[in-house]
Chains A and B, each alone.
Chain A
Amino acid sequence: MTPILEARGLVQQYATGRSLFGKPPSMRAVDGVDLAVREGEILGIVGESGSGKSTLGRMLLGLETPFAGEVRWRGQPMPAPRTDMWRRLRAQMQLIFQDPLAALDRRMTIAAQIAEPLEIHGLMKGAEAAERVAELMARVGLRPDQADRYPHELSGGQRQRVVISRALAMRPKFLVCDEPVSALDVSIQAQVVNLLRDLQEQEGLTMVFISHDLKVVHNICNRVAVMYLGRVVEEGPSGEVFGDPRHPYTRALVSSIPKAGRGLTDRIILQGEPPNPAMRPPGCAFHPRCAIADAACAGEIPELSGHRGRLTACLKQRAIIPATAA
């Protein structure tokens, strides 16, 4: 099956300061990512804070131009941000933000905000648009009488429902959810996650789901990519990745998921400092914290490649290949 969205060699770097003379210092938030998203799947992206998940998500949507590499949507290159082509493409791909209050205009009623994409793309007007708004609100579980409310009059979960219904107004094909529930109360996180999953099934959406919550990712994602300091270190079907993690970093992550009846007894505690993209270690970025690293790991950056039927970026995995292949 051809992927609906494809990323090749994505790199993003940001200036970390200013300098009067010479080049300002910079830091790579995303450092060479290849990724394919297949139609109709939910791809999870996990990784520590600062590993570049949000940056990757924004580049996948074309909201930011990558420093290097390219994103292809249905085989076509992503148009430059803020061009007419790019604006038209927004009807097909949308972002769900982490903080719904910040994403909503506090001076507009929620009905007006849900109707906005319809107006922007000139699809519907008047009664027809009002009908569609009512339908969308019902769809995400908002009451009709909430149409004239302002964002601050709603609860966090309700606001996120508004953001979701606004994103769905144009019947997009592709959705990036960037930690869509982490700003919400734990008690309603599950509701919103279930809503997203139901919508994905009913509308046939393709979705990239960025989250810290490995359990949720395990539950709803078909595939998952694990990021460490701007690179994907492991990628595969989520059952396999969570059931049999290969990369030492993934293993540490997976061991931290509490499981019923087991506790956290065999949890792998990562040593060393948390990753800092401004001071990326040479070679494999994970080697200073890795239990199985040796001198070679500091000398070579491992590529994401197939080992024993799975994609990992670890020199130690390569070492195993001949053994199993033989």
Chain B
Amino acid sequence: MTDTTLPEGTGTSPVKAGMVRRLRTSMPLVIWCAVGWLAAMVLTAIFADLLRPHEITAMSLTQRMAPMGTPGYWLGTDDLGRDVLSRLIQSIRVSLVIAFGATIISAVFGTTLGFLAAQFRGWVENLVMALADFQAALPFMIMSLAVLAFFGTSMVLLVGLMGFYGWERYARIARGLAISASAQGYAGAVVQLGAKPSRVYLRHILPNVASTLIVSMTLTFPEIILMESGLSFLGLGVQPPQTSLGNMVGFGREYLTRAPWIMLAPSVVIVLTTLSISLLGDWLRDRLDPTIR
């Protein structure tokens, strides 16, 4: 029973081994590129302060809208003469930090609620599922816009808001897996040995559902990047003088005809990053968890 609903961890069934081998032989180049790109992005985010050639707000009035390839300003400058490369590096850091923070918040929050629903059932479960329905029924973008309208924009609010993105998926997955594990599976067996819920959930259920949750994280991560950059693009996310990828594209939009490079570089970074994570996520999903699409 549980064999079909739970991810197999160390299993080496012949079917699986064949699939992994197939993936290893047919996928590696794309996956390696994706991993390489993501590693570069993470390193850029970590060492942003060292890598930046200029201050992100440093304006050079003599070098306004310099095209790509200008010595010292390899990706050009914007309308105020600020270095696009430096701003891009800082944007990568800001966007990745927001997306990482939000992904982790939403995974922890959603999983916790899902486990609570599975543990207490009854009205707790009904409440969590009703909240999940509500979250799924209201487009997240619209909800975020409403919250930002009422509270004004701030970095903390933005991360907190993005931290709600996709929590209902983790909650549903965690609840479903925990219930099936308790009903007739290993978790029920441990409960009947006399274990406290904390032990059952942290030592047994969490490690068993981790791979499924990680796969969901690879789904929500790029979506959060897109959500944040969409809001920032509209001028409602990250606020100047701070900068993020979407925010750069938003500014570049006004110079689309005269200085397309301002929006080009951040657009490419967004597309390549979300693409890499999606590819990697797909690959991981096939490898770790054949039961979900």
- Chain A residues engaging chain B, CB cutoff 8 angstroms: 61, 63, 82, 87-91, 94-95, 97, 99, 101-108, 116-117, 120-121, 150, 152, 163, 166
| Count of inter-chain pairs, beta carbons less than 8 A | 65
Complex CA distance for A107 and B209, rounded to whole angstroms? 11
Contact flags B3-35 to A (C-beta < 8 A → 1, else 0)? 100101111000000000000000000000000
Residues of B close to A97: CB separation below 8 A = 189
Contact of A94 among B6, B11, B192, B199 (CB under 8 A): B192
Complex CA distance for A90 and B199, rounded to whole angstroms? 15
Residues of A close to B190: CB separation below 8 A = 105, 116
* Residue pair A102, B186 in contact (C-beta under 8 Å): yes
* Residue pair A120, B186 in contact (C-beta under 8 Å): no
* Residue pair B186, A82 in contact (C-beta under 8 Å): no
Complex CA distance for A88 and B195, rounded to whole angstroms? 9
State the Cβ distance, A94 to closest chain B Cβ, in Å. Answer: 7
Whether B258 sits at the interface, judged by CB under 8 Å, is: no
* Residue pair B10, A103 in contact (C-beta under 8 Å): no
Contact flags B204-230 to A (C-beta < 8 A → 1, else 0)? 100110000000000000000000000
For B196, the closest partner residue in chain A by CB is A87
* Residue pair B192, A107 in contact (C-beta under 8 Å): no
* Residue pair B193, A107 in contact (C-beta under 8 Å): no
Residues of B close to A101: CB separation below 8 A = 3
* Residue pair A104, B194 in contact (C-beta under 8 Å): no
Whether B184 sits at the interface, judged by CB under 8 Å, is: yes
Complex CA distance for A98 and B293, rounded to whole angstroms? 31
* Residue pair B9, A117 in contact (C-beta under 8 Å): no
Contact of B192 among A63, A150, A152 (CB under 8 A): A63
Whether B185 sits at the interface, judged by CB under 8 Å, is: yes
For B208, the closest partner residue in chain A by CB is A107
Complex CA distance for A97 and B2, rounded to whole angstroms? 14
Contact of A106 among B186, B193, B195, B199 (CB under 8 A): B186
* Residue pair A103, B185 in contact (C-beta under 8 Å): yes
Q: How large is the interface on B (under 10, 10 to 19, 20 to 34, 35 or more residues)?
A: 20 to 34
* Residue pair A106, B191 in contact (C-beta under 8 Å): no
Complex CA distance for A163 and B185, rounded to whole angstroms? 13
- Main secondary structure on chain B at its contact with chain A? helix
For A58, the closest partner residue in chain B by CB is B192
Contact of B194 among A91, A107, A152, A163 (CB under 8 A): A91
Whether B137 sits at the interface, judged by CB under 8 Å, is: no
* Residue pair A90, B193 in contact (C-beta under 8 Å): yes
Residues of B close to A82: CB separation below 8 A = 191, 197
Complex CA distance for A152 and B186, rounded to whole angstroms? 13
Contact of B208 among A95, A105, A166 (CB under 8 A): A105
Residues of B close to A152: CB separation below 8 A = 10-11
The 3 closest A-B pairs by CB, nearest first: A90-B194, A103-B189, A87-B194
Complex CA distance for A99 and B192, rounded to whole angstroms? 15
Given contacts A102-B185, A106-B186, A120-B199, contact A90 B208 (CB under 8 A): no
Whether B202 sits at the interface, judged by CB under 8 Å, is: no
Interface centre among B2, B190, B197, B199 (most CB of A within 10 A): B190
Complex CA distance for A95 and B185, rounded to whole angstroms? 13
Complex CA distance for A87 and B193, rounded to whole angstroms? 8
Complex CA distance for A101 and B113, rounded to whole angstroms? 28
A-B pairs with beta carbons under 8 Å apart, 7 shown: A82-B197, A103-B189, A104-B186, A106-B186, A120-B193, A120-B194, A121-B194
What would 20 more interface pairs be, CB under 8 Å, given A99-B184, A120-B195? A61-B192, A63-B192, A87-B196, A90-B193, A90-B194, A91-B194, A94-B192, A97-B189, A99-B1, A102-B186, A104-B189, A105-B186, A105-B190, A105-B208, A107-B9, A107-B10, A116-B190, A120-B199, A150-B10, A152-B10
Complex CA distance for A90 and B184, rounded to whole angstroms? 17
Residues of B close to A105: CB separation below 8 A = 186, 190, 204, 208
* Residue pair B191, A166 in contact (C-beta under 8 Å): no
